Structure formats: structure tokens, C-alpha cells
Amino acid sequence: MIKALGYFIEIIRGIVITSRHFFVNMFFHILKVLGIKTKRKGAVTIQYPEQKKEIAARHRSLHRLMAREDGKPRCVACMLCVTVCPSECIYVEAAEDPDLEMQKYPSKFIIDIGRCCFCGFCVEACPEDAIRMDSGEIDFAGYTRDDLVYDLDKLLR
């Protein structure tokens, strides 16, 4: 009996919290409609994924590999990103480019997004500005772990 009473108290507390948020937000929205400027704004629900919030300029989103004018990756497979990566999620295999100016290019460039912690060290380490995290893509869930392993074709754009 006393236990059941406990449930009711919690339900009432929940209703109080929800209503407080509702009325406080309502109050700020009414002030906005009346043209009164306040420091605090009323909360707005964004209808994700139909509606998307703008991503901040320095937000670290999905990696992309930059291409040269001729479409080849800028990356020279120096493996500094592999070296600096704290979660060991990058794997690069280098190959010989017949173009003497280039010499070295990545024949394999794999990022395991499932391991990545989005620290952005790879972007900072890159001497060629070949990897960036500014694609703006933030929804890359997959059904298997392999779906999250991105290779050169997926990363280069």
C-alpha cells in the first residue's frame, strides 16, 4: 500500500516537471510574440530528420578525402594520420605512382568509422590538406560493422 503511494508521488512529480517546462517555455514564447527581448529563449523542437539544424562551421563530421584537379587523391600516403590516430581506425597502403611529381599515392585508404572517435587529429596532422572532416554528414549509421568501414571510393569526393 505504502509502495503504491510512492508510485503516485513520482507520477505527480513527473507531471509537475513537464508542466513547468511547458509553462516556462510558453511564457518566453509569449514574450517573443509581444516583441519583448529576453536573454533566455523558449525551447523549440526540431523535427529531425525531416528538419535539420545547421551544423556549426567547425563541427567535425564525416571525413572526406580531397581530390586533385585530375581526380586523384591529394593524399601521398605519408601515413601521418595513421600515426596520430588514437583509436587506430585508419589503414593506408601506399603504391608507386608513375607520375614522378607524385611518386606515392594511397592504393588503399580505409577509415573504420565504427572505431573513430572524431578527434580530428588526422586533419591536423595531414601535410597535404588531403583529409578534412567538413563533409557535414552526421548520419552514417549502418546495420553491420562492415557498413562503417569506409574505403577510398566512399571517402574521395
Of the candidates 101, 90, 93, 94, the residue with the CA atom closest to the CA atom of residue 63: 90
| Shortest distance in whole angstroms from residue 90 CB to other proteins | 9
Helix (H) / strand (E) element for 81: namely helix 80-84
Rule CB under 8 A: is residue 100 a binding residue for other proteins?
yes
Which of 31, 66, 67, 94 binds other proteins (CB under 8 A)? It is 94
Beta strands in the chain (DSSP E): 64-65, 90-96, 104-112, 131-132, 149-150
Among 29, 74, 115, 154, contact with other proteins (rule: CB under 8 A): 115
User: What is the nearest approach in angstroms of other proteins to the Cβ of residue 76?
Assistant: 5
Residue 83 contacts other proteins per CB under 8 A = yes
* Residue 109 CA neighbour count, 13 Å, CB half: 27
131 binds other proteins (CB under 8 A): no
When asked if residue 96 is in the footprint of other proteins (CB under 8 A), the reply is yes
By the rule CB under 8 A, 128 interacts with other proteins:
yes
Question: If binding is defined by CB under 8 A, does position 116 make contact with other proteins?
Answer: no
Question: What SS3 class is residue 122?
Answer: helix
CB count in 10 Å sphere of residue 123 = 17
**Interface with other proteins, residue 79, by CB under 8 A:** yes
CA-based max dimension of the chain: 84
- In degrees and rounded to multiples of 5, residue 7 shows phi and psi of -60, -45
Q: Does 153 bind other proteins (CB under 8 A)?
A: no
> Per CB under 8 A, does 111 bind other proteins?
no
Residues that bind other proteins (CB under 8 A): 76-80, 82-83, 88, 91, 94-96, 100, 103-104, 110, 112, 115, 127-128
